[in-house]
Amino acid sequence: MKPLIGITGRQLALGMVANTSERFREQRIGSYFSAFADGVAAAGGIPVLIPFAADAADVVAQLDGIVVTGGQDVHPARWGGLAAVDPTVDPRWDHDAHDAERDAYEAALIVAAVDSGTPLLGVCRGHQLLNVVLGGTLIEHLDEGPIVHSASYAAPSDGDPGHVVEFAEGSVPHVVYGARRVTNSWHHQAVNRPGNGLRVVGRTPDGVVECIELADRPVVGVQWHPEWTATQPEPIFDWLVDAASRRTADELVLDRKAMA
């Protein structure tokens, strides 16, 4: 049985799509980057889009793994940030606007996944939200230095050769990638203080946190975009699907024992 891997996205107004009829401009659409689905499917999983509609705990109970994807900044009120927020800007019509509804729903998914031991991969914003949900903080804005984090190149990309992430020995990314990895980079915020139970397992040479993982749980956050890697293999999706597959197999064994 192939594991079901839920993928989060965002809700936008249909009018954001060019040439939409005026009759339907205000209707919402569920949107996510299809490259995530490609990565999950290539690793042997079945990708499933997660809308905001159903109870988060009920959704997690039906899934074998979850990807919390990238997007706009996490609302600063969630972690004590000082950035100004314009409450009049609608995230359905502005893809960079803070989205409190998305924050709340994805936070509930993360809590349910952690509580149930469901494998979870947080990517970029998802990596940062994971940290915030577990009580951590973020760096409000990174000043660019020799290592560029908010890159100007287009997706997909393998990243700039100078953007090297070094991984802690024995960590999930160390097992998956080896000691280091050149990654792409499109972010202006970063993990500051790690949340409860999280440990930093990947940094660039300038000290910016690029990867975190949760002790005793199959939960990993990465700051780069594995779905948009251009030519390098992206085994982090294999890790997620494998973890989800083993969880499914364990549950089947337990079910059979209960029926015996």
Give 210-248 pLDDT, tens digit per residue: 999 999 999 999 999 999 999 999 999 999 999 999 987
Q: Tell me, what amino acid is at 168?
A: A
Q: What residues act catalytically?
A: 124, 225, 227
Nearest in space to 236 (alpha carbons), one of 203, 207, 213:
213
Check residue 162 and give its pLDDT: 95
Residue 41: both structure tokens together: 């499917």
Q: Could you tell me the residue ranges of all domains in the chain?
A: 4-259
| Res. 251 pLDDT band, cuts 50 70 90 | low
Nearest in space to 236 (alpha carbons), one of 179, 194, 177:
177
**4-259 falls under which CATH superfamily?**
Class I glutamine amidotransferase (GATase) domain (3.40.50.880)
Give 79-137 pLDDT, tens digit per residue: 999 999 999 999 999 999 999 999 999 999 999 999 999 999 999 999 999 999 999 99
Local structure of residue 234 (DSSP, 8 states): -
Entry pTM: 0.94
H or E element in which residue 103 lies: helix 100-116
Outline where DSSP puts E strands in the chain. 4-7, 10-13, 28-31, 46-49, 65-68, 120-123, 138-139, 164-167, 180-182, 190-191, 198-203, 209-214, 219-222
